Amino acid sequence: MNIELTEATWIEDVGEISLARLAELSGLEEVRLRELVDYGALTPVDPGATFWTFRAECVVTARTACRLFNDFELEPHGLALVLTLLERIRELQTELKRLHAELPS
Amino acid sequence: MKYKDYYSILGVDRKASADDIKRAYRKLARKYHPDVSKEPNAEEKFKEVAEAYETLKDPEKRAAFDQLGSFQPGQDFRPPPDWWKQFAEAQPGFEQHAFEDIDLADLFAGLTGRGGQRARGRSGVIPGQDYEVAVQITLEQAYHGAELDLDLSLPEYDESGMPRRVPRTLKVRIPRGAVDGQKLRLPGKGGKGVNGGRDGDVYLNIVLAPHPLFRVSGHDVYLDLPLAPWEAVLGTTVRMPTPGGPVDIKVPPNTAAGRQLRLGGRGLPKPHGAAGDLYAIAQIAVPATVTERERELMQQLAAASTFNPRQHFEEGT
């Protein structure tokens, strides 16, 4: 059987995406994404622009937000807080990993 | 079709109230949700828990589940003949279909609950489901890129609207430079969209397997470089492994243990051309046994040297 080869693509290769596209890719409604922007968990490229665009990496955060919203039924402020803390944990884990890598085994 | 006991998965009695079910789900979700949990097999456990809650939180679906009867988990079963008429608005003869490859979760996902309309019968655009899959790659695969076979089991609907698990193998090219924690996307390779809805995507969560020599942080790679005491003092040239193949590096004289020798661009490649660095961390290794001649030379060195590695102890008092 001939199996077609699929190229895995970098998420950030897409560049910038619109609010509507972010909603489509993440599964979160635009109104929820706007709330996350209001609470500081997502940042548009230019918050002052009439039509927001986002760096493509925001898809990862927005998809996490969608899962947490659906699975824990979180209200927007709580959701933004969880996302901020998860990002903080991710940064600390990255730093911890770097320190472990620097230690002789 | 294999039976799953949604009540025992949530750890509640069959007569549990809606509040009890919600409380049990929340407790287990907190414990196993893959975004917040560090438990082993958290993702698998959470899938079970979420599947159970998705059915039991809806009164119609819960009633439909209860009407299936009670079996042992994993036991093959068929819904009672009148079950379809009551809950699934079956096509004539629907109950005669084979059930071996139907997953209970897909069956209940096909019911909208509260009226028993089959989801597939709804009109309107429905996007295909996205999936996330963890993929472990080796350091060598991260360096060179790789082609991997990915086995997925995705639900598809037959002409009568019956959901069936269809095993699919995707051959996937992982680009060079994918590192631990990286997310990659396979556009349109997830669940099929309905009524013109877009096909879902598959997201790959890259996990880098531990390597016996190299430790990786982002695109930077770290390696212990053991040196004999005299090599550390006198300096030397050593052949050292790197992800791209062995290289000769000059170790400068008087290299202390813990000193990092940086080889720019010898780490893992980055997505668009550049590369991380390789850090060789000097370690002073001593022989487990020495010859008589080596011992004599060491003793001579000890007698001749004025070096005091603990000078700072005296300065600190």
- For residue B172, the distance in angstroms to the closest alpha carbon of chain A comes to 5
At B69 the pLDDT is 84
CB of A15 within 8 Å of a chain B CB? The answer is: no
Question: How does pLDDT run across B259-313, given as a tens digit for each residue?
Answer: 999 999 999 999 878 999 999 999 999 999 999 999 999 999 999 999 999 998 9
B201: left (phi over 0), alpha (psi -120 to 50) or beta: beta
Q: Does the CB of A2 have a partner CB in chain B at under 8 Å?
A: no
> Rounded to whole angstroms, how far apart are CA atoms B171 and B162?
27
Query: Which chain B residues touch A64 with a CB distance below 8 Å?
Result: 35
Give the 3-state secondary structure of residue B75: coil
pLDDT value for B94: 55
Closest-CA residue of A relative to B201 is A25
Residue A2: the pLDDT is: 64
User: How many Å apart are CA A101 and CA B267, to the nearest integer?
Assistant: 13
Report pTM. 0.81
Instruction: Give the residue from B28, B141, B203 with the most A CB atoms within 10 Å of its CB, the best one to mutate.
Output: B203
The answer to whether B29 contacts chain A (CB < 8 Å) is yes
Place of tokens 């947490």: A68
Say if residue B152 is exposed, middle or buried (CB neighbours under 10 Å; 0-12, 13-18, 19+).
Answer: middle
User: What is the distance of C-alpha A84 from the center of its chain?
Assistant: 11
Nearest CA in chain B to A102: B222
Residue A95 touches partner B, C-beta closer than 8 Å:
no
Structure tokens, B177: 């430079």
Nearest CA in chain B to A4: B171
Give the model's pLDDT for residue B121: 47
pLDDT for A28 equals 94
- Say if A71 is an interface residue toward chain B (CB within 8 Å): yes
Residue of A2, A4, A10 to mutate for B, most B C-beta atoms under 10 A: A10
> Tens-digit pLDDT profile for chain B (317 aa)?
788 999 999 999 999 999 999 999 999 999 999 999 988 889 889 999 999 999 999 999 999 999 888 888 888 888 887 787 777 665 555 555 666 667 888 778 767 544 344 444 445 677 888 888 999 999 999 999 999 999 888 777 666 666 677 788 899 999 998 999 899 999 999 888 877 888 889 999 999 999 999 999 999 999 999 999 999 999 999 999 999 999 999 999 999 999 999 999 999 999 878 999 999 999 999 999 999 999 999 999 999 999 999 998 988 76
For position A87, what pLDDT does the model report?
93
Share of chain B above pLDDT 90, in %: 61
Give the confidence band of A80 by pLDDT, cuts at 50, 70, 90.
very high
Question: Is some CB atom of chain B closer than 8 A to the CB atom of A91?
Answer: no
Residue B104, helix vs strand vs coil: helix
Q: What is the pLDDT of residue B96?
A: 57
Q: Nearest 5°: CA angle at B139, between B133 and B143?
A: 100
State the complex-level ipTM: 0.86
Contacts 24+ apart (CB under 8 A), A35-41: A35/A76, A35/A79, A35/A80, A36/A62, A36/A65, A36/A76, A36/A79, A36/A80, A36/A83, A38/A76, A39/A76, A39/A77, A39/A79, A39/A80, A39/A81, A40/A80, A40/A84, A41/A65, A41/A79, A41/A80, A41/A83, A41/A84
> Chain A residues with CB inside 8 Å of B281's CB?
102, 104
Taking CA–CA distances from A82, the nearest residue in chain B reads: B36
State how far residue A32 is from chain B, nearest Cα, in angstroms: 19
Cα–Cα distance for residue pair B44/B67, rounded to 1 Å:
26
Residues of B in Cβ contact (< 8 Å) with A3 = 149, 169-171
Strands (E), B175-227: 183-186, 202-208, 214-217, 220-227
Which residues of chain B neighbour A23 with C-beta distances below 8 Å? none
Q: What per-residue confidence (pLDDT) applies to A20?
A: 95
Of A5, A64, A82, the CB nearest to B171: A5
pLDDT tens per residue across span A33-57: 999 999 999 999 999 999 999 999 9
Among B172, B185, B213, the strongest candidate for a mutation testing the A interface, having the largest count of A CBs within 10 A, is B185
DSSP B93: T
pLDDT number for residue B120: 47
**Closest chain B residue to the Cα of A83, Cα to Cα:** B35
Contact (CB<8Å) A63/B279: no
A94 near B CB under 8 A: yes
On whether any CB of chain A is under 8 Å from the CB of B281, the answer is yes
CA dihedral (B184, B185, B190, B194) in degrees, to 10, reads 150
Structure token pair of residue A59: 């898809």
CA B300 from chain centre, in angstroms, equals: 56
Q: CB B186 to CB A6 under 8 A?
A: yes
* Residue B178: φ, ψ to 5°: -75, 130
Predicted confidence at residue B272, as pLDDT, reads 78
